[in-house]
Amino acid sequence: MWIHIISDIIYLHMKSIPYINKIPYHWLIFSTAAFSIFITATDRSALNIILPEISEEFSADLPTVQWVTIIYFLTVVSLLVPMGRLSDIIGSKKVIVTGLLIFTIGGIVSTWAPNLPFLIFARFVQGIGGGMIQGTSFIIAVSAFDETQKGKAIGLNLIFVSLGNLIGPLIGGLIAGFIDWRALFILFSFLSFMSGALSIILLPKNSSSTKISSDFDWAGAGLLIAGFAFLLSGITIASRAGLNSATSITLLTVSTLLIILFIIKSVRANHPVLNIKLFKIPVFTLSVIATLTAFIAMSSVPFILPFYLKYVLLFSTERIGTVLVPGGIAMGIMSPITGRLSDKFGSRWFSAGCLLWTSIGLLILSTLNSESNEWLPYIGVIPVMSGVGGFYAPSNSTILNVVTQSQRGSIIGLINLTRNLGNLLSIPISVLIITTIMKSNGFYPDLSSVTESSDPNLLNVFILGMDRAFLYIGILCIVGSIISLYRRPLK
């Protein structure tokens, strides 16, 4: 109670400031959500840069240190749908403020980590907070605008994701180079604390505009969290050890059983975490599948392309990073444009057209060889990333138009889950295609064997595998474009 009283007093004081008083309230709400989105996106991309410093301090190999980022990712993604559903019940303000507090505490604990296991545990704690933030910030951002501006809100939301992904590596590199990797956690703890304070002050007391039953399907949530935790762990290990790995097979089998149990439980529940019956609606299911293909396509590029740039074109590490920057900028520009246009003219042609544009970029990348012009990767990356940016808002508007207000939180959680699952699936799919080509040509099927000193024949086979991967994923994108055209009226 006293927190609300203090926040109301501070808000009234802020409204007395002439400049702030001129800002429409819905923009204050959106900006608060966007700030939290920006923090989590920047934190995730910045941390990848400091992993070598963490590895050196704790005298651990890089694959082991990568669990600092993997545990965070697994925790966030597993919680997205349950946290979205929880925000439907108790209001998104409570969930996001709690998430920002947990994220802040996890960052502070990470700063004082005496060893690697402790740091991994601290990142697990941050992942709980991150799941609550990502599961609700999108909801708040979309709810800040009226129903006729969903595409605009989603498009603006993606700007901050893109901005965080672009700025994160720069911040991580500067802090690691001039201060210490622990300072990065201090910075993001401070930013998340500030975001939490702004959320308390500016967000309405109940961001959920619809009163619904307070029954929360704890058993269903547990099955879903466990199922996706096993699934994502299995995919992660498969991308490193191969699909034939006994560990990955076991994890994927267990995840399949848990998800089947979750589906059975959800169909029988009065208030399920995720309404499985929505998948009976073709336009809903096809839009979710199209979203998955879009992010498999986009994420395959930053995974595969650096091998080619570093070991074939002999780009420096600094220059490799510049290849993705124009695409990231184009993505941030396209998203609000198509979002706004889809609000006025419908989402069908924008979703399909932008995915087709993405496939054109992938087909350009599938022509790369050892003698390609060094600017061709830049040219190919721009349509891939701008296409996904332009696709995202119209497609998500289509999904949200199918569901009721009381289901919006869990469905936005599903959208975020689909996006992250696509990001993760792109790695084993790309690895499988490339290593299959390597093996069929008599080489050991392992990407780690591809280096600048590799046999020229191996590099040529790698290029062949890379081109096939971009080609097949480009075809997958064309399929996603076609199914995005489906728009049968709802009964």
Q: What is the pLDDT of residue 468?
A: 93
Cα–Cα distance, 425 to 455 (Å, whole number): 29
Q: How far apart are CA 485 and CA 490, in angstroms?
A: 15
Considering the domain delimited by 1-212, tell me its CATH architecture: Up-down Bundle (1.20)
Chosen CATH of 275-491 out of 3.40.640.10, 2.60.40.10, 1.20.1050.10, 1.20.1250.20: 1.20.1250.20
pTM for this entry? 0.79
> For residue 474, what pLDDT is reported?
93
- Whether the pLDDT of residue 380 is over 70: the answer is yes
Cβ contact 441:460 at 8 Å: no
Q: Could you give the CA distance from residue 354 to residue 341 in angstroms, rounded to a whole number? A: 13
Residues of the chain with CATH 1.20.1250.20: 1-212, 275-491
Decide: residue 19, CB within 10 A, 0-12 exposed, 13-18 middle, 19+ buried: exposed
Q: Alpha-carbon distance 292 to 422, whole Å?
A: 5
Residue 211 is predicted with a pLDDT of 44
pLDDT digits (tens, 9 = 90+) for 103-138: 999 999 988 888 888 999 999 999 999 888 887 888
Q: Is the pLDDT of residue 477 over 70?
A: yes
Amino acid at 187: L
Tell me if 296 sits within 8 A of 476, measured CB to CB: yes
The Cα 157–Cα 216 span in angstroms is 28
What is the per-residue pLDDT across 317-335, written as a single tens digit (0 to 9) for each?
667 777 878 888 888 888 8
Query: Is residue 8 scored above 50 in pLDDT?
Result: no
Over residues 29-39, mean pLDDT: 84
pLDDT at 25: 62
pLDDT in tens, 430-475: 888 888 888 888 887 777 777 777 788 888 888 899 999 999 999 9
Tokens of 94: 């409570």
Mind listing the pLDDT tens digit for each residue in 247-261?
878 888 888 898 888
pLDDT at 304 over 90: no
| 466 contacts: CB under 8 Å, gap ≥ 6 | 304, 307, 308, 368, 434
pLDDT of residue 103: 93
Q: Distance (Å, rounded) from C-alpha 15 to C-alpha 271?
A: 40
pLDDT of residue 62: 64
The CA dihedral of 35, 36, 40, 41, to the nearest 10 degrees, is: -40
How many angstroms separate the CA atoms of 183 and 175, rounded? 7
C-alpha–C-alpha distance, residues 478 and 483, integer Å: 9
- Mean pLDDT score of the chain: 80
pLDDT digits 0-9 by tens, 142-193: 777 766 666 667 777 777 777 777 777 777 777 777 788 888 889 989 999 9
